[in-house]
Structure 1
């Protein structure tokens, strides 16, 4: 009986040892797997993100799962997943959008921050600036006819009613930046005075508000709309590819603000997320986005190749918003915009 009990005890201890070894092995495997993974949420166009992600994968060996959707939708996902994050980086979105939700992100300052132009540095430690994106008006040359488009005021032309592509600013960061641009440009620096113009523009939209930024530039390029309110890179892509479109920098003034990115709080692959942020803000990548992908760099010493069609900012009437006001009043702006739109 004693031998039987001893034998049984030995077998139990042996099975327990095997179990512990298996668990240890699985943990190492999972840890190793995690060390080579990264999940990135991004509202940037796929034709912009995919080349950069592929280069990052080739250089680091880290496999990236790229989830593409509108900035508003992705931010809501980050918020809803905050107790169990399914993403590691939110790559893209206006500073106004990200700054008002910085509690969703980890504190991290890129190793490249000392090379960033002073106005685009990560001053609060949460949101890293990525690229500089002026708001523009995109015009379909085949549809515009004799209608003159030089700025925002021209969009109130009744011949354009229902022919203007504009996205919902609660779902699209570029549309939110357009709204901010309109408020400051048409209010001569006082955003509260710009609402009269915005109300008139909303009336000329004729009840049409698109669900995302891509619907704007695609809609204009495909001839569904005569003009659209979009961002520089998207319009430049079509110009360089020979589409019948023009880019107009509003004569009333263009705001050229940086977009941002943040590492999701409690991200499962935080170290890889840090590597990604450092990678896309490095000089080589920043030069590539300027020379090949129609974006302006946040770095001080990245040159603009004029053959790309990117104008020097000195050739454009550039105005600034009050970023603190824009960030603090984001929800108020969106609510007021919604009220005006639904009452029309």
Structure 2
């Protein structure tokens, strides 16, 4: 769902090197193995917290390859007949669904402890965190302007003061787009929802952030009053004491899962299963909720004071199948509306 910062690995591995390193080992060769190869688009904070915890807990050494989700999926597709990775740790559920043939069937015994609606229903991949669409407001700039939801963003006083990335290139901006269509219009095709989008883009005054990171940073830096963004970086600003607050749209917020799965043909299958078990264990889920700024999915996970309890947020359920199937149409319509408002 969201754009995640790519972690620069200590050793840059080319595709050819990755494939070459896999030679000579048979798939499923896990006897006495203390190795695990993890591909991940996750943030540096997640990697530097969760991976060392797993290594300490199990004695298994993780070899990490970090890049954007799209790049990693392409790499996995090219390595399908001779996989180098054991686990893909991160990426949206939609991306896993679209590439389900790459993943081994495995349901962790810890899966039963996840919140309803986030459990492993496909048998092929596991949700471990969720991230929601939010509004990030600069408390020093907002003054008396009321911002409680999407409708408030149409206030003329906010014209040109709203930060938003382009849904055509930003996964978090696209998630915001489908969220507002659902929240305001009730579905993804109603005139009411798209009329709202037309009014909102007019209030953006032709301004678009270079990316999702630029959108929330511009609010934290005091350049814009409010950003259409996502919970993870927003909660990080709140935790660090920045002059911002998170607003969960009163019309409703969609939370999308971060997902992990074991690759078919994994050479370290037992260790891969241990990794999946670990990321939804109580220890790891508590770390996601109280050390990091991610939304854990275990029923009994601890959540930091800087995170709003889920029960206080109005939640909406996205129609994943529809959105995945019609993404290009939704983006095209948004682009046409945004462009026409610039004229």
| TM-score (structure 1 length as normaliser) | 0.78
Tell me the equivalent position of 1:138: 136
Deviation at 1:207, TM superposition (A): 4.5
How far off is 1:286 after superposition?
A: 0.9
CA distance, structure 1, for counterparts of residue 201 and residue 86 of structure 2 = 37
2:210 maps to which residue?
Answer: 210
Report the Cα offset of residue 249 of structure 1.
0.7
Q: Unpaired segments of 5 or more residues in structure 2? A: 1-22
Q: Do the aligned partners of residues 37 and 300 (structure 1) sit closer, same or farther apart at CA in structure 2, a change above 3 Å counting?
A: closer
Q: Distance in 2 between matches of 1:83 and 1:342?
A: 44
Structure 2 match to 1:178: 176
1:268-294 CA deviation, whole Å, 9 max, x = no partner?
544433322211111211122122223
Report the Cα distance in structure 2 between the residues aligned to 1:268 and 1:131, rounded to whole angstroms.
Answer: 26
In the other structure, the counterpart of 1:235 is 234
Q: Which residue is equivalent to 1:106?
A: 104
Structure 1 residues 62 and 167, CA gap change in structure 2 (3 angstroms): farther
Provide the residue aligned with 1:20 in structure 2: none
- 1:317 match: 314
Whole-Å separation in 2 of the counterparts to 1:169 and 1:81: 30
C-alpha distance in 1 between matches for 2:210 and 2:61: 33
Deviates most, 118-127 or 92-101: 92-101
3-state SS in 2 of match to 1:117: coil
1:14 paired residue number: none
- 1:84 shift after superposition: 5.2
Matches within 5 A, 1:7-26: none
Task: Give the TM-score, by structure 2 length.
Answer: 0.78
Structure 1: segments with no counterpart, 5+ residues: 1-25
Q: Tell me which residue corresponds to 1:336.
A: 333
Question: Does the CA contact (< 8 Å) of 1:178 and 1:229 recur in 2?
Answer: yes
Distance 1:269 1:247, change over 3 A: same
Larger radius of gyration: 1
Q: Residues 97 and 173 of structure 1 are in contact (CA less than 8 Å); yes or no, is this contact kept in structure 2?
A: no
**Which deviates further from its counterpart, 258-267 or 67-76?**
67-76
Tell me how far 1:38 sits from its aligned partner: 1.4
Contact persistence 2:89–2:261 (CA under 8 A): yes
Where is the helix percentage greater, Structure 1 or Structure 2?
Answer: 1
Contact 2:183–2:251 (Cα < 8 Å) also in 1? yes
Matched, 1:226 2:222: no
| Number of aligned residue pairs | 312
The CA deviation at 1:251 is: 1.3
| Aligned match for 2:50, one of 44, 49, 52 | 52
Question: CA separation in 1, counterparts of 2:267 and 2:335?
Answer: 36
Provide the C-alpha distance between the structure 2 equivalents of 1:76 and 1:334, rounded to a whole number of angstroms. Answer: 22
Question: Could you say what secondary structure the match of 1:144 adopts?
Answer: coil
Of 115, 123, 126, the residue aligned with 2:124 is: 126
How far residue 121 of structure 1 moved from its aligned partner, in angstroms, is: 1.1
The CA distance in 1 between the partners of 2:74 and 2:140, in whole Å, is: 38
Residues in 1 aligned to 2:141 and 2:39: alpha-carbon distance in whole angstroms: 38
CA RMSD of aligned residues (A): 3.0
Please name the residue that 1:287 is paired with: 286
2:187 pairs, out of 173, 178, 190, with 190
- 1:70–1:172: 8 Å Cα contact kept in structure 2? no
Q: CA deviation at 1:109?
A: 1.7
Contact 1:85 1:267 (8 Å CA) reproduced: yes
CA distance in 2, matches of 1:87, 1:140: 42
CA shift for structure 1 position 183: 1.2
